[in-house]
Amino acid sequence: MRWAIILRAYSWPASLAPILIGSVLSYRRGSFSWADFALTLAAGLLLHSAANVANTYFDHKNGVDQKGADDVGIVANLISPEKALRLALFLFTLSALAGLYLAVRKELFSLLPVSAAGFALAWFYTAAPAYKYRALGELGIFLCFGPLLVAGTVLIQTGKILPEAALASIPTGLLIVGILFANNLRDLKTDSEKGLKTLPGLLGEKRALVFYFFLVLFPYPAALYSLGFSPAFLITAVSLPMAVNLLSLAKKGKFHVLVRENAKFVGIFGLLFSVSLFFGK
């Protein structure tokens, strides 16, 4: 339980879903390896966990962490700041080694710039210049867990960058942004008091809620379009009641619950969308 809190394991569906989607797209193209899938998953989860721990460390260092937030590893005395930094660097290193092994083994050196972009987005999220607190967090998260992770997975499996990978990354990419956006909605008042710029802060609470609704609902037409309007979309649509529940939590201002429920929803939507892609046209 302690390590699940430190690593913020509740957020792992944000890595699992894009990798699963990219793997299904690759399978449909006739190119899939379980070994490559396992290595990609390991590298993705290691990088995600490294980013989470680094985020905890830099939030503490910059004086913006709080006990009511999700990154409580340091404020709850579960890990010291020094150990958090060492752990983050260790996890980054393991992820880099896994990625480098894939690139060398498959002679896929075009993977290196894709991986480098992912590492940069992960590290500079809260490390200086800390783009999260310059109202750019949502954009960075979308790029990292959307096009980069899905396209990177496809690149590993097929050796190619496929246009459909970018399109298929949009639905879950937006939902993953929803996790951060819900987090920033929860911290709207405290972030403002500390002079931190976030997208909800710039939009204001009412418009921020409207934007959150967009993040939760637009993935459905985006998924339908990505599937070429295939009836297989109905499999993805099974998740709609969960989406409605997220909107209800947002309207009631239950943002502490919303963050984790949004993360769970990413996993379920990602799984259903992957099945739709598998059976689609």
Does the pLDDT value for residue 39 go beyond 80? yes
Does the pLDDT value for residue 71 go beyond 90? no
Angstrom distance (rounded) from CA 225 to CA 204: 31
Token pair belonging to 176? 């993953």
CB 148 within 8 A of CB 118: yes
Average pLDDT over residues 110-131: 93
| pLDDT (0 to 100) of residue 63 | 81
Does the pLDDT value for residue 46 go beyond 70? yes
Token pair belonging to 127? 């490390």
User: What percentage of the chain reaches a pLDDT higher than 70?
Assistant: 98
Average pLDDT over residues 86-106: 95
Average pLDDT over residues 187-199: 87
- Cβ-proximal residues to 254 (8 Å cutoff; 6+ apart), any chain: none
CB 191 within 8 A of CB 176: no
* Residues 37, 12, 274, 139, Cα dihedral to 10°: -110
Angstrom distance (rounded) from CA 126 to CA 149: 20
* CB under 8 A, 24+ apart: contacts of 52-56: 52/7, 52/8, 52/11, 53/6, 53/7, 53/84, 53/87, 53/88, 53/91, 54/85, 54/88, 54/92, 54/122, 54/123, 54/125, 54/126, 54/127, 55/125, 55/126, 55/132, 56/6, 56/8, 56/84
Domain 2-279 CATH class label? mainly alpha
Of the candidates 128, 157, 136, the residue with the CA atom closest to the CA atom of residue 30: 157
Angstrom distance (rounded) from CA 36 to CA 30: 14
Of the candidates 85, 35, 96, the residue with the CA atom closest to the CA atom of residue 59: 85
| pLDDT (0 to 100) of residue 189 | 86
By mean pLDDT, which of 8-12, 74-78, 84-88, 105-109 is the weakest?
74-78
Chain segment 121-145, per-residue pLDDT in tens: 999 999 989 999 999 999 999 999 9
User: Domain spans of the chain?
Assistant: 2-279
Angstrom distance (rounded) from CA 84 to CA 204: 33
Does the pLDDT value for residue 158 go beyond 70? yes
| pLDDT (0 to 100) of residue 68 | 59
Chain segment 216-263, per-residue pLDDT in tens: 999 999 999 999 999 999 999 999 999 999 999 999 999 999 999 999
Does the pLDDT value for residue 1 go beyond 90? no
Listing DSSP states for 93-155 in one string gives HHHHHHHHHHHHHTT-TTHHHHHHHHHHHHHTTTSTT-GGGBTTHHHHHHHIIIIIHHHHHHH
Does the pLDDT value for residue 24 go beyond 80? yes
Q: How many residues does the chain have?
A: 281
Does the pLDDT value for residue 67 go beyond 70? no
Does the pLDDT value for residue 70 go beyond 70? no
Does the pLDDT value for residue 265 go beyond 90? yes
CB 148 within 8 A of CB 172: no
Can you state the percent helix, strand and coil of the chain, rounding each to 5? 75, 0, 25
